[in-house]
A = this chain, B = another copy of it.
Amino acid sequence: MTYEALERLVNERLPDCLNSLGEIPATLREAMLYSLEAGGKRLRPVLLLAAYGLLQEDVTPALPYACALEMIHTYSLIHDDLPAMDNDTLRRGKPTNHVRFGEAVAILAGDGLLNAAFELMLREAAASESLAGLRAAEMIARRAGVTGMIAGQTLDVTLEGTQPSLDKVGYIHAHKTADLLTAPMEAGLILAGASEDQLVAGRTYGYHLGIAFQMVDDLLDLEGDPARMGKHTGMDAAQGKLTWPACVGSARTREDAAAHIRQAVEAMEVFGERGIFLKALAQSTLTRVQ
C-alpha cells in the first residue's frame, strides 16, 4: 500500500472511532474533531499500520490502535499550544484549539482525546480478548507517559531559556518526539505477532526516525516558509527552546539527521523486501530540508 492509501484509511476511520464512543456533548465533540481533522500527515498511525504490514497482509485489524495513537498525538498538540505552554495561535494553517473554542474547552478536548485513545484500545482488546492488543496498548501508554512523551514535554517547557546542551536536547527529543514514533513501531509489531528481534529492529527504526524527524523540524522552524508550513516559524528561537541547531548549528544538524536516517533504514534490513516501504518513508523525511 502507498502512504496515501494508509493515510486515507486513518482519515476515514478517525471520526467513526469518535462516534463509536457514544453521545459526546456537542461542544466537546466539535473541539475534539476540529483538531483531529485539522489534517497533518498522520505519520504515527501510518507507521503503526506499516509496522503491522511488515508481517501481515491486511492492516485493518490494527486501525483502532492507529487511530488511538493519532488521538494521543492530537491531544498533545492541543495542550502544547495552550497559552501557559507554547502559546501558539496557529497550527496547520488554522487557529489553534483554544483560540477557536476557549481554553477551558481546549483543556477538556485534550483530556478527552487522551482518555478516548485508551477507551478505544481497551474496548478493542477486550472485545477480541486479545493479549497482544493489551500489550500494544501498554506499550503506547508507556511511550506517551511520564517517562516518555510527557517527560520530554516537561523538560521542553521547564528548560526553556537555559543553556543548550546535547544532553538536554537529546533527552527532550528522545522523549517528546522519538517515543511517539517508536510506539507505533512497537505496537504494530506486537499486534502482528513479531519476534523479539523484530521488535528490537522496529524500536531502533522508530528512535532514529524520531530524532531525525525532530532535527528536520528544528531546521524548518529556523529556515522554513511559514506560508507553506501553515504555522508560525522562528518560534523556537523566540521562546528560547532547546533545539539541535542551537546546539551544533544547522550544517551539523543536517548531517546528523542524515546519519540517523541511515540507521533507521539499516534497521529495516531484517524484514527484507517488506521493509522497502518504511525505508523509503524514512528517506523522504530528509527531502523536506534538502
Contacts and interface: CB of A to CB of B under 8 A. Distances in A.
Contact of A150 (B112, B125, B151): B112
A118 interface: yes
A281 interface: no
A120 B155 CA distance: 23
A276 interface: no
A114 B119 CA distance: 12
B112 A115 contact: no
A69 B104 CA distance: 23
A131 interface: yes
A154 B107 contact: no
A141 interface: yes
Nearest to A124: B138
B115 A21 contact: no
A114 B84 CA distance: 19
A104 B126 contact: no
Contact of A126 (B115, B135, B158): B135
Given A111-B110, A141-B118, A28 B105 contact: no
Contacts of A272: none
Given A137-B122, A138-B123, A141-B118, A108 B157 contact: yes
A93 B115 CA distance: 29
A122 B150 contact: no
Nearest to A134: B126
Contacts of A203: none
Given A134-B126, A134-B134, A150 B108 contact: yes
27 contacts: A21-B145, A23-B147, A24-B146, A24-B147, A24-B151, A25-B146, A32-B146, A84-B107, A85-B107, A104-B158, A107-B107, A108-B154, A110-B111, A111-B111, A111-B114, A111-B150, A114-B114, A114-B115, A115-B146, A116-B146, A118-B137, A119-B141, A122-B122, A122-B138, A125-B134, A126-B134, A126-B135
Given A25-B154, A29-B146, A125-B134, 18 more contacts: A22-B147, A27-B154, A27-B158, A28-B150, A28-B154, A32-B146, A105-B154, A108-B154, A111-B114, A115-B146, A116-B145, A119-B142, A119-B145, A122-B137, A122-B138, A123-B138, A126-B131, A126-B138
The 10 closest A-B pairs by CB, nearest first: A84-B103, A122-B138, A119-B141, A22-B147, A112-B146, A115-B145, A28-B154, A118-B118, A24-B146, A84-B104
